Amino acid sequence: MIQQMLESGKPAEQETVTHIDRCLSCFSCMTTCPSGVDYMHLVDHARQYVEDTYQRPAFDRILRNVLGIILPRPHVFRLALLGATFAKPFKGIFSGRIRAMLDMAPSSIPQRSILDELPVHAAEGNKRLKRVVLMTGCAQKVLSPDINDATIRLLTRHGVEVVIPKEAGCCGALPLHMGQENPAMAMARKNIEAWHSELTRDGLDAIIINTSGCGTTVKDYGHMFELDEGLSEKAKTIGNLAKDITEFLADLDLKTENFTSDLRIAYHSACSLQHGQKITDIPKDLLSNAGFEVYGLPEAHICCGSAGTYNLLQPELSSRLKERKVNNIKSLAPDLVSAGNIGCIEQIASGMDLPVVHTVQLLDWASGGPKPEAIS
């Protein structure tokens, strides 16, 4: 359908748009496909074409534009969540996507982090073994600021200096997957310049990303800017430096020998991690080595239904996927759930009473950090 749409040269038709909109971008097809079809870039190209040629209904256009403005900007997103918190008790009068957004809004908003606002975090004891940039993200730092805090504590405890350039921000994934290429590329360009400046100033061992959806996009910066003569080499360098936090921790000697736990952890592998970045066993191995009892999920390859803005734009399909994921988790009778992507964490937590925490929060706890607040 994408091929026919692009080769026709005509505006996208409604039937094609419906199918493209219903795609999760979970990239499970890329893991499964024996021919190695590059669907990730195909669907992004298709969405851009749809955005340029298809006239969406007014409400749909407004909603997508609003999400593209709010979600990548933490200060604006926090204000929007405050408004949603006040409106949440009245969600019964709404339906469809407005109801879905109010359902997903948290009952309370955590305090802003102090740590991820600071530009430099020295390695403990000033014994620097490595130097990294931490991408603090956008929605995550509002919804769960302790994920960044736990990352900073864990890294500095193990001899890693953490740098947070104030010029960097959203990776661009959220607008990119809605076909909003221009703002997505502008966000990515700012990050590339900010992080490359740190690389040339004092060197970098990695760019650490603790939201796997963002990691998949940042690792793709080289492809996104391959035709930009002024930025292509920088973008490729930045993409090669990008690492998921668990990918980086696998090369550190984590000090967890004094930790014990009898907690049963169900590990949910985010699609962007297992399909987008091909990282599957590392997070589970890190948790097991730290002393946790870890279980993989039945149907682990299937998406939870979060998928960036999917749970807001396709609430019915998203809800069915969430229910399926939650039932698979419950079949293991775990004490809590671990995941590596804030979208998955929020999605799964909204469908069950068990604590759902980021993998790095558990590893921080196991190596001397505080116990995650979600765990009683």
- Per-residue pLDDT tens digits for 329-362: 999 999 999 999 999 999 999 999 999 999 999 9
Do residues 348 and 294 both lie within one domain? yes
The CATH number assigned to the domain holding 335 equals: 3.40.50
Do residues 41 and 67 both lie within one domain? no
Count CB atoms within 10 A of the CB of residue 251.
10
Question: What is the C-alpha separation between 31 and 52, in angstroms, rounded?
Answer: 29
pLDDT tens track for 56-97: 999 999 999 999 999 999 999 999 998 888 787 777 777 778
Count CB atoms within 10 A of the CB of residue 355.
18
Closest by CA position to 77, among listed 166, 146, 174: 174
Residue 81, in any domain of the structure: yes
CA distances from 233 to 222, 236, 242, 307 (A): 7, 5, 14, 30
Do residues 100 and 143 both lie within one domain? no
Do residues 314 and 356 both lie within one domain? yes
Do residues 76 and 152 both lie within one domain? no
Question: Mapping DSSP to helix (H, G, I), strand (E, B) and coil, where does residue 284 land?
Answer: helix
Instruction: For residue 242, list its beta bridge partners.
Output: 207
Do residues 41 and 68 both lie within one domain? no
Structure tokens at 9: 């040269």
Residue 254, in any domain of the structure: no
- The bridge status of strand 206-209 relative to strand 336-339 is unpaired
Do residues 48 and 70 both lie within one domain? no
Structure tokens at 29: 């097809």
Question: What is the C-alpha separation between 295 and 255, in angstroms, rounded?
Answer: 22
Taking the chain, what is the end-to-end CA distance rounded to the nearest angstrom? 50
Question: What pTM value is reported for the model?
Answer: 0.94
Residue 258, in any domain of the structure: no
Mean pLDDT of the chain: 94
Strands ordered across the beta sheet of 293-296: 293-296, 264-267, 336-339, 356-358
Q: Where are the beta strands (DSSP E) in 13-111?
A: none
pLDDT tens track for 293-331: 999 999 999 999 999 999 999 999 999 999 999 999 999
Containing structural domain, residue 76: 58-104
Residue 344, in any domain of the structure: yes
- How many domains in the chain? 4
Do residues 68 and 32 both lie within one domain? no
Closest by CA position to 369, among listed 248, 254, 278: 254
Question: Mapping DSSP to helix (H, G, I), strand (E, B) and coil, where does residue 133 land?
Answer: strand
Question: What is the C-alpha separation between 304 and 105, in angstroms, rounded?
Answer: 17
Residue 373, in any domain of the structure: no
Percentage with pLDDT > 90 across the chain: 88
Residue 259, in any domain of the structure: no
Do residues 200 and 289 both lie within one domain? no
pLDDT tens track for 112-126: 888 888 999 999 987
Contact between 102 and 88 (Cβ < 8 Å): yes
Q: Where are the beta strands (DSSP E) in 238-351?
A: 242-244, 264-267, 293-296, 336-339
Do residues 211 and 188 both lie within one domain? yes
Structure tokens at 210: 């603790």
> What letter does residue 245 receive in the DSSP assignment?
H
